[in-house]
A and B are shown apart, each in its own frame.
Chain A
Amino acid sequence: MGQGKSTNSGKLAFNFEIFKNSFFSYLNIKRIIVIEVILLVPVIIPLFYVFQRISGNYNNWALSSEDAVVFFMNNIYIVYLYVLIPILVAIFTSISLGEEQKNHTIVYLLTRPVSRLWIILQKYMSLVPIGFLLSLPPVIINFLLYGAADPQFDFKTGLIDMWHLCVAVMLYVLLIIAIVLFFGTLSKRSIIFSVIYVLGYELSGYRLFVSLFDNIRYIFGSYYIHSYLVKTIATVDKFPLRIASNFVDIWQAFLVIIITIVVFIFGSYYVLNTKEYF
């Protein structure tokens, strides 16, 4: 009997082939165009509203900075952050392992000497740039558009706000990918799970999630720490209290989200390691 050609027969394969293949498979031009069009719809409609007000009801050029930001935060931001981004990221994530199961190609991954954890991590990493690519440009463009509508717009404060928003969106995207990837290990119909998750999150999860953040402050007694940090940052860096508070909120959210991501990634690993896929 012949011997295999394996040059490193005692070791598992460790390279970025799954990451590379997965990442490039998502970069389908037609798919990206469709998604960008979907993302532009909620930008265009409120823009009509803004410019109608600019040209018709107001003699000055723009809404006030506060109006623009509030309008964005109350309308566009919510549509993006809680509806479009989760659904789009969930769909892309579902494609990852769900499609592998549907097309039976998962057989190739599972019959190779590649650690199951490494498979999950590569799949996860391949989705992160796509998630950011989908979510960040529309958020930045929208924010700048509404900010630029006001000649008095304070770019220093505005950019910090936008940066905080981007960090929050990135964390949120990272979380969604981890959760939906977990669904993907469970079922080839993970897209259904994902949509249920997103809708469920919209209907009830959001409130739970917000209250979870509040509770975490209590649990760790960090309300005082939070206030202290906010005041310190506001004093040292001369930031308004609102921005300093955002900053601390993001770090607290970061901690919670990272822990959740790790839990879901290990959950995915556990399922991939124990489930019989074919």
Chain B
Amino acid sequence: MCANIIEAVDLSRFYGKVVGLNQVNATIQSGITGLLGPNGAGKSTFQKIMIGQIKPSKGQISTLGQNPWKNLLLYKRIGYCPEYDAFYYGQTGRHFVTSLVRLYGFSSSESVKLANEAIKIVEMEGAADRAIGGYSKGMKQRIKFAQAIAHDPELLIMDEPLAGADPVTRIKLMVLIKDMSKAGKSVIVSSHVLHEIEKISPKILLVYQGKVLASGKIHEIRELIYQYPHEVKIKGVEVRKLAEHMLSLSHIQNISFIKDENEEEVLYIKTSNPSKFYGQLPKIIESNKLNVFHISSTDDNLDSVFRYLIR
């Protein structure tokens, strides 16, 4: 067993003139660690270097004590859940997970067994025999999670697993990530939303413009970030009804509606207390039986904090 899951020394990655990572020195230990930073900060680049899919331009990295670049055998010990929807859309969820487990070298019967276990863990048994093309965003996130955990990896690396997921799926995924940690696995989760990371783990690595700005001091970061209003984007069938209920909450600073490219109304809410907001939101949705299918946090506020931090 190695105490340090990830060790990065002067790690840099350049894409031509663009800096992906800039002299990162970081150590990630077992348990759950959050990689926090706005879009384009370098979180995904860092994770891809961890799993050996991108070669560092400079510096060194070790994952589970080994150099991950082209280290095929190391992949048996890692589970990776990509950010984007990467699916073979004609396949069913069960087929998708089973065939990907097979690629770890398990026999057909073992793969079926492991895939079924993983599908059960992510509570997708009911939909596992349906084509992935018909899945909701939340179901897709869960089936991606299943393929990453099915072979029982020591280290799970997840790139923005909560992005775009509905509130119920968010909660389920958070619970699953915590369960993985309880089972003795290490998890590295990236997100651009502080409160998401905060609910999963107290340990964070703050990444901005390719640099690690801070690590492990979530309460300090939290205080700093909450000086800025937090904006949330909500899509659903009855967003105006939701807005009516939200108006009565004291921490709501502003509510606006903007039509998206499909001419559908999108609700933007600014809150001064995100923690409270995200605690109350599922309750309001559930008690009023509202149909909300997309919640995401715009990261303008986080970005401004990061800009403040690097000054």
Residues on A lying within 8 angstroms of B by beta carbon are 1-15, 17-18, 20-21, 25, 28, 103-105, 107-115, 273, 276-278
Q: Given A6-B151, A111-B53, A277-B53, are A21 and B76 neighbors across the interface (CB < 8 Å)?
A: no
Q: How far is the CA of A114 from the CA of B101 in the complex (A)?
A: 12
Q: With A6-B76, A111-B53 given, can you name 11 additional A-B contacts, CB distance below 8 Å?
A: A1-B186, A2-B184, A4-B153, A5-B152, A6-B104, A20-B99, A110-B53, A113-B75, A113-B103, A115-B72, A276-B53
Q: Are B87 and A103 in touch, CB under 8 angstroms?
A: yes
Q: Which of B34-42, B77-85, B210-218, B275-283 forms part of the interface with chain A?
A: B77-85
CA A116 to CA B303, docked complex, whole Å = 39
- Is B48's CB under 8 angstroms from A13's CB? no
Q: What are 20 A-B contacts with C-beta separation under 8 Å? A: A1-B30, A2-B152, A6-B77, A8-B105, A9-B76, A11-B105, A15-B103, A17-B102, A18-B103, A25-B88, A25-B90, A103-B89, A104-B84, A104-B85, A108-B147, A112-B100, A113-B103, A113-B104, A114-B103, A278-B48
CA distance A191 to B118 in the complex (A): 36
Q: How far is the CB of A278 from chain B (nearest CB, A)?
A: 6
B235 contacts the other chain (CB 8 A) = no
Residue of A nearest to B76 (CB): A6
Contacts of A276 in B (CB 8 A): 48, 53-55
Question: Nearest B residue to A12 by beta-carbon distance?
Answer: B72
**Contacts A6-B151, A114-B72 known; A108 to B186 CB distance under 8 Å?**
no
Q: In the complex, how many angstroms separate the beta carbon of B292 from the nearest chain A beta carbon?
A: 27
Complex CA–CA separation, A18 to B105 (angstroms) = 12
Residue in B closest to A278 when the chains form the complex, CB atoms: B53
Q: Count CB-based A-B contacts (< 8 Å).
A: 106
Give the total of B residues in contact with A, Cβ under 8 Å.
42
Asked if B151 contacts A4 (CB within 8 A), the reply is yes
Please report the C-alpha to C-alpha distance between residue A276 and residue B68 in the assembled complex, in whole angstroms.
14
A30 nearest CB across to chain B (Å): 12
Q: Which residues of B contact A (CB under 8 A)?
A: 1, 30, 48, 51, 53-55, 70, 72-73, 75-78, 80, 82, 84-91, 99-100, 102-106, 110, 114, 147, 151-154, 183-186
CB contact under 8 A between A108 and B86, given known A13-B103, A15-B102: yes
Q: Which single member of B78, B99, B147, B152 contacts A17 (CB below 8 Å)? A: B99
Is the beta-carbon distance between A108 and B100 smaller than 8 angstroms? yes
* Alpha-carbon separation in the docked complex, A4 to B105 (Å): 13
Name the B residues within 8 Å of A20 (CB-CB).
99
Given known A1-B1, A4-B154, contact A14–B105 (CB-CB < 8 A)? yes
State which of A17, A28, A112 has its C-beta within 8 Å of the C-beta of B75. A112
Q: Note all chain A residues with C-beta closer than 8 A to B154.
A: 1-4
Q: How far is the CA of A7 from the CA of B89 in the complex (A)?
A: 30
Q: By CB atoms of chain B within 10 A, which of A11, A17, A28, A273 has the most? A: A17
Question: A2–B86 contact, CB under 8 A?
Answer: no
Please give, as numbers and ranges, the residues of chain B lying within 8 Å of A103 by CB-CB distance: 86-89
Instruction: Give me the 3 closest cross-chain CB pairs, A-B, nearest first.
Output: A13-B105, A104-B86, A112-B103
Q: How far is the CA of A238 from the CA of B72 in the complex (A)?
A: 56
